[in-house]
Amino acid sequence: MTFQIRFNPASFSRMTRKRPPRLTDELLARLAEGFILSSRKGRPYLKRYAAPKNPKTPGQRAARGAFARAVHAWQAADPAIKARYNELARTQPATGYNLFIRDFLARDGSVPD
């Protein structure tokens, strides 16, 4: 018996196809509890949720404070400064906000290496 005869595609059409059971929203929610859908290199996969750690080290607190000052400076900045950064961002893969934050943190020097 050859492979082609044993697995004749015509025989598949005569076979009954079973469908998976319908999953209700409640059942899906229970199955998904504790998991997150992620992707790597364009391929989706399911992984267990791991609660992020919150290090409260002095360096981490200094970095968070520096970012908070940078965001506040952007929010309080003159519209002309925002327009200049937004115009500069048109030629780069970043937003004016991102460029402003980068420059502010570079000048401020409060973010530890």
Whole-number Å distance between alpha carbons of 110 and 104: 10
Whole-number Å distance between alpha carbons of 107 and 24: 54
Residue boundaries of the structural domains of the chain: 58-108
- Summarize pLDDT for 47-104 with one digit per residue, the tens: 888 888 888 999 899 999 999 999 999 999 999 999 999 999 999 989 999 999 999 9
Tell me the pTM. Answer: 0.54
Whole-number Å distance between alpha carbons of 2 and 95: 63
Whole-number Å distance between alpha carbons of 68 and 60: 12
On the 0-12 / 13-18 / 19+ scale of CB atoms within 10 A, 74 is middle
- Summarize pLDDT for 61-72 with one digit per residue, the tens: 999 999 999 999
- Partner residues linked to 46 by β-bridges: 37
Q: Among the residues of 3-109, which ranges form H helices?
A: 3-6, 9-14, 25-32, 58-76, 79-89, 96-108
Beta carbons of 101 and 74 less than 8 angstroms apart: yes
